[in-house]
Amino acid sequence: MVAALAKVTFSVLAESRFLKRVASRYGMRQPDSFARRFIAGESVTEAILVAQTLERQGLTVSLDLLGESVASREEALRALDGYLQAIGEIERAGIGRNLSVKLSQLGLTTDRATTVDNLRRVLDAASKGEFFVRIDMEGSQYTDATLDTFETVWEIGYHNVGVVVQSTLRRSEQDIRRVNKLGARIRLVKGAYREAREVAYNRKADVDAAYVDLMTLLFREGTYPAIATHDPVMIDRAKQIAAASGVRPDAFEFQMLYGIRRDLQAALLAEGFRVRVYVPFGAEWFPYFMRRLGERPANVGFVVRSVLREKL
């Protein structure tokens, strides 16, 4: 009941134009604002400045243009233009050429054919600049369509693309085996979406156990696994499994979100591991941030605990 009420509350807040205007004025434009700890800014220029700082620390980056679930073909085309602009700006800036995309932002909720066309345009531009593009995984209602779209572009010949799999979903082992057979790269996350028991594990212990099992599968059969977690227990297990599987530190990478557990990022770098930081940016930062909190209210406490735990 409490979780359902929180989700509704955050969803209402996310749709508030007034709060969005206020947040845009005070939450992102102030250099010391709370939001700027986790979101690079509203423009790709701001994201690039953050990325350059991270790269000077020895980290690699992936830029993430915020926005999702567009309602029309026109909105999808605007999102496409945003991705193409980001690719051009990233290339000119000379930072790492790695980009995250959401298919619902490119039209998946309106028309799959349009989505494939838009994704191909992103991948064409990315190919010319030698970018790698990661397709995010959203709620379980999009899992089949996301994997089908990914496989479609892969079979056409776009191999500069990978996909995300969530350990919270009960189906994820078969999805990983499917992608592994292609030789494509997978980013493994726990998953932030609240899902029905029929399709997902709801207990943290079960999600963690599935994460370990899926990591093991990736290290044994996968292609350059991306282990995306801020959980020190999962990080230690990843190190152990990788070593036991004969996977060198340069044959996989850890991934974290901008502003979260910077102490762990630095520690992993010092140990010789590769660490990539996802750098979110865009005008839709406020709805995105609020919806993420609403999908799993425990994220609020997690963010606060992460800040308090860091030794900056």
- Residues serving a catalytic function are 136, 187
Q: Angle 77-66-215 (CA atoms, 0-180°, nearest 5)?
A: 115
What phi, psi does 119 have (nearest 5°)? Answer: -65, -40
Please tell me the distance from the alpha carbon of residue 15 to that of residue 108, in angstroms, as a whole number: 21
Query: 3-class SS at 296?
Result: coil
Task: Please say whether the beta carbons of 194 and 292 come within 8 A.
Answer: no
Per-position DSSP letters for 43-60, written without gaps between them:
SHHHHHHHHHHHHHTT-E
Helices H, strands E: what count in the chain? 12, 8
Please tell me the distance from the alpha carbon of residue 50 to that of residue 48, in angstroms, as a whole number: 5
Please tell me the distance from the alpha carbon of residue 220 to that of residue 37, in angstroms, as a whole number: 36
What phi, psi does 240 have (nearest 5°)? Answer: -65, -45
Beta strands in the chain (DSSP E): 60-65, 98-101, 132-135, 161-166, 185-189, 223-228, 253-257, 275-281
> Two tokens at 13?
């807040």
- The Cβ-side half-sphere exposure at 12, using a 13 Å CA radius, reads 6
Please tell me the distance from the alpha carbon of residue 188 to that of residue 167, in angstroms, as a whole number: 7
Place of tokens 């999908």: 295
Place of tokens 């070593």: 243
